[in-house]
Chain A
Amino acid sequence: MESKIKAKAIVFGNNIDTDVILPGKYLILVDPYDLAKHALEGLDTQFVEKAKPGVILVGGKNFGCGSSREQAPLALKYSGVRCVIAESFARIFFRNAINIGLPVIECKGISSAVKTGDELAVDFEAGKIENLSNGKKFQVEKLPPFIMQILADGGLIENLRRRINKK
């Protein structure tokens, strides 16, 4: 994982559920790039085009609620989403994202401070988010070191492999 990223934001509302992120009918697909073709199709059929250059998703409360399908964060990651920032996350989505190496940040107040198209800068190590388009800055609580390490390793599997090999 890169420690700092800069990208344009796409903003969604509260309670974005995993059925709109990746509808159930696509769960039989296995290739993450095939999944990515349908990312957020339930809400915006143009999303995949918009996400291609690399974007930061900004959500409201309870982002990723619903199913445990890991295919939801996978579809986002492979469609070009580099990070998701939300007021709060549904817990399974939050863990899944970290486990597949998609950074997620909980940040109170973010959804009213960002418009779609704003340029955001995120510094994961420092826990800083800046909206370069309007100058608004946020300091967020950092994740525990072992979670930061999972993200740094690129996901839980790589993290586990490294830990097992160490032994």
Chain B
Amino acid sequence: MNITEKILAKASGKKAVHPGEIVDANVDMVMVHDLTGPLAVEAFKKIGTPKVWDNKKVVVILDHQVPAESVKAAELHKTMRQFAKDQNLTFYEVGRGGICHQVMPEKGHVSPGNVVVGADSHTCTYGAFGAFATGIGSTEAAAVMATGKIWFKVPPTIKIEVKGKFQKYVTPKDLILNIIGTLSVDGAIYRAAEFTGPTVKAMSIAGRMTMCNMAVEMGAKNGIIAPDETTEEFLAGRIPKMPDLKALQSDPDAEYERTVEFDVAKLEPQVACPSSVDNVKPVSEVGNVPVEQAFIGSCTNGRLEDLRVAAQVMKGKKVKDGVRALVIPASQEVWKQADQEGLMQIFTDAGAIVCGSACGPCLGGHIGLLAAGESCVSTSNRNFIGRMGSTQANVYLASPATVAASAIAGRIISPWEVKA
């Protein structure tokens, strides 16, 4: 079996499972946030079970409309605060957590081999830790809170094998954009995407999270990476007990629907142009695209490593007139570390605004929205029509290095073009 199959087999009490089989899996952790949680609370109350199945396995995080930008959002937050209190759940208040997908692993709510579901499509991020993690809706989250179980159709797995060493300023974001551009937005629909090969093995946790985070953008049920010493190093001191990682490796004779190979040695920085995540080009082929906004942050690229590379590009330079640059660290922990390293100073000196940890403009709900006719180059994960505000605005997705370089130039450029 491959890792995904091993985790689903164990979670459903079976010796083996096969693609296409429907299993009833035990859930290790369920997460809801301020925009999906309220509907889940309403649904949970309708089920009529007074208490959640296990209060240690339900996490509530406020991160989307944060801090509340409207009375309506404040009411949603109040609902979630009250529910977390009544049910005695782990709750991350505004200013104590950050973006759910950063907070979950950071605070030790994800262990290798776990089945984690979250009422957010980017829950697949935790595959970076060798967990089976996938997004669900609010009603289903309520059902999991009541029963601790969920059904899954065991997915066929696509093996994505990556070799080669990244060139300077080329990052896992460029790789995953290149993969999505190659496989298309429905290239992994209903499937597991297992990332492997020497490049993935050498990748940091932050990079692995970026890769797994965007697995859903090619339709995948989950993205997953075999846990190893890098995983262990990150999780040590965060999770109560390290599981046996040897049991969480794909067998040599594991079955895959297909294997796709990538070599990053010659990969250029990549950009996903409007309005589809698979409309990917090397930045040299994007042409002259002026931008009004540059956004560095989100569950895809708001980690310390991302902020470091952005700061490296921006240091001693100024954001171009006519451009507003937004930097949003993915969590309070990232915020503090970035501050200690002096990164906030670099961004502020460059003329960027640094906001509190939250989802920010990524989903067009709150902070940094776009007007008609404007373009934003962003480190986030989606460039759909209307995603970041006006339906007449354009979103280009790129790496933190490319976004930082473009903020300085006032148009989309390669970080290779920025002079030291």
Contact = CB atoms under 8 A, between A and B. Distances in A.
Given A27-B35, A156-B139, A92 B121 contact: yes
B185 A157 contact: no
Interface in B132-185: 135-140, 142-143, 146-147, 151, 185
A70 B137 contact: yes
Given A25-B365, A99-B139, A62 B186 contact: yes
Contact of B39 (A24, A43, A71, A160): A71
Contacts, number: 131
A20 interface: yes
A157 B143 contact: yes
B299 interface: no
A25 B391 CA distance: 12
B382 interface: yes
| Residue of B36, B186, B189 ringed by the most chain A CB atoms within 10 A | B186
A80 interface: no
Nearest to B386: A42
A71 to B, nearest CB: 7
A27 B64 contact: yes
Interface string A139-167: 00000101000000001110011001000
Given A24-B365, A28-B365, A19 B387 contact: yes
A156 B385 contact: no
Interface residues of B, number: 51
Contacts of B385: 19-20, 42-43
B119 interface: yes
Contacts of B387: 19, 24
A65 B219 CA distance: 7
A156 B46 CA distance: 11
Contacts of B42: 30
A90 B138 CA distance: 16
A98 to B, nearest CB: 9
B384 interface: yes
B35 A69 contact: yes
Contacts of A90: 186, 189, 219
Interface string A66-102: 1111110000000000000000101110011001100
A23 B386 contact: yes
Contacts of B219: 62, 65, 90-91
Contacts of A155: 139
Contacts of B47: 157, 160-161, 164
B146 A67 contact: no
B333 interface: no
Given A15-B186, A23-B386, A42-B385, A160 B147 contact: yes
Residue from A66, A68, A144 having most chain B Cβ neighbours under 10 A? A68
B300 interface: no
A99 B185 CA distance: 24
Contacts of A14: 186
Interface in A1-47: 14-15, 17, 19-20, 23-25, 27-30, 42-43
16 contacts: A19-B382, A23-B391, A27-B35, A27-B363, A28-B70, A30-B42, A42-B386, A62-B186, A68-B123, A88-B186, A95-B136, A96-B140, A100-B139, A156-B43, A161-B46, A164-B49
Given A43-B385, A99-B140, 7 more contacts: A19-B384, A20-B385, A24-B364, A25-B389, A27-B35, A95-B136, A95-B140
Interface of B: 22, 35-36, 38-39, 42-43, 46-49, 64-65, 70, 72-73, 76, 118-121, 123, 135-140, 142-143, 146-147, 151, 185-186, 189-190, 219, 221, 276, 363-365, 369, 382, 384-387, 389, 391
